[in-house]
Amino acid sequence: QKGGYEHFMLKEIHEQPEVVKTTITPRISNHIPTFENEGISLDKLSSYNNIFIVACGTAMHAGMVGKYVIEKMARVSVTVDIASEFRYRDPLINEGDLVILISQSGETADTKAALELAKERGAETLAIVNVKGSSIARAADYVLYTHAGPEISVASTKAYMVQVSVMYLLAFQLAYAKGKISKEQLVEYTKLLENIPEQIEEAINLKPACQFAASKLLNADSLLYIGRGLDYALSMEGSLKLKEISYIHSESYAAGELKHGTISLIDDGMPVIAIATQKDLVEKTISNIKEVKARGAFVVLIAAPGVDVEDGVSDVTICLPEANQLLMPMVAAVPLQLIAYYTSVLKGNDVDKPRNLAKSVTVE
């Protein structure tokens, strides 16, 4: 059942290259993405005034990556909401808006309630769901199924990865529909996405380095994940993954926000996991790393190739495989998953069934 792996989580991490392919391939023809078969035309996509992405937990983190990518490429405003907040905050949604619900199970109570609210307010709804025929899939105007297959581990890995891959397909199409990129650029971006499964595979080969990093985190009471831009979106997922299965307290923080309060937490030996993959922001992140290092932090740096750090800035460096920086979240997510996995294993926890958590949260 576990295909020779010790845990479902590790098996599912290994399945990621394949499930990304299965999710994107049917939606790409000659390197051009389309959702026409799912009833969503380019005209339709570009007709919306505002986009809201609503989800819980890991699915919400996939939405955060989507926000950065869609806004950057298509110049459309995207708001990401936690479903349990969205449904009670009287959100400013109207006819002409698109509300995207992301859910692996398609049964999450708050996400489902958010969908109903969006419909009541006249917005159109698009569900990105893994489980066929689930409640959220049935209730939405449009459905884009992810094809991760059954995810058994409570801590989500492959479902996140395919959700993010759909976010990219959406961003590319929107950018093209809005005239922000040419057809040639659309083809180039899509080719980059089509190559990502190989780069995910290479990132999975970072297992020994991730296991080593995990061995340094075991005794921490608390730690921080930091990054900027897409790296910040990713740090949220890294932090959630670690706390849910290792039971070590952790927080993700926008690196530039540290000095506004959180840096006071840093003392001798506190681990800080820093993600630095975005060229324009790397230098800024490195200077934040130096600030925490100067206060005694134990720094694990997850960096794109070519990110140059002086000696002594990081204690452990995990160098990612080469990939376009826009798509780097899909590559950099892997070591974050693996660090969480090995920390949980080394602590002797029940990796696939962490305490207090259920795979599907069908009550509010």
Residue among 137 and 270 whose Cβ is closer to ligand F6R: 137
Q: Which amino acid is at 122?
A: G
Residue 41 CB-half CA count within 13 A? 3
Binding residues for ligand F6R, total number by CB under 6 A = 15
Residue among 56 and 206 whose Cβ is closer to ligand F6R: 56
Is 186 a binder of ligand F6R (CB under 6 A)?
A: no
Using N-to-C axis directions, what is the helix angle for 16-24 and 158-177, rounded to 10°? 30
Dihedral (CA of 41, 233, 17, 72) sign: positive
Residue nearest to ligand F6R according to CB distances in the complex? 57
User: What percent helix, strand, coil does the chain show, rounded to 5?
Assistant: 50, 15, 35
Among 148, 155, 164, 292, binds ligand F6R (CB under 6 A): 155
Please give the angle made by the CA atoms of 35, 64 and 47, to the nearest 5 degrees. Answer: 40
Is 307 a binder of ligand F6R (CB under 6 A)?
A: no
Rounded to the nearest whole angstrom, what is the least distance from the CB of residue 159 to ligand F6R in the complex? Answer: 6
Is 103 a binder of ligand F6R (CB under 6 A)?
A: yes
Is 105 a binder of ligand F6R (CB under 6 A)?
A: yes
359 an active-site residue?
A: yes
Instruction: Determine the Cα–Cα distance for residues 143 and 30; give it in Å rounded to an integer.
Output: 23
Instruction: Determine the Cα–Cα distance for residues 349 and 343; give it in Å rounded to an integer.
Output: 9
> Mask of contacts with ligand F6R, 239-258, x by CB under 6 A?
-x---x--------------
Rounded to the nearest whole angstrom, what is the least distance from the CB of residue 244 to ligand F6R in the complex? Answer: 6
- Residue 45's contacts (CB-CB under 8 Å, 6 or more residues apart) are 35, 170, 173, 174, 177
Rounded to the nearest whole angstrom, what is the least distance from the CB of residue 360 to ligand F6R in the complex? Answer: 6
Of residues 45-64, those binding ligand F6R (CB under 6 A): 56-59
Rounded to the nearest whole angstrom, what is the least distance from the CB of residue 13 to ligand F6R in the complex? Answer: 12
Instruction: Determine the Cα–Cα distance for residues 256 and 53; give it in Å rounded to an integer.
Output: 25
Task: Give me the residues that bind ligand F6R (CB under 6 A), please.
Answer: 56-59, 103-105, 108, 111, 155-156, 240, 244, 360-361
Catalytic residues: 359
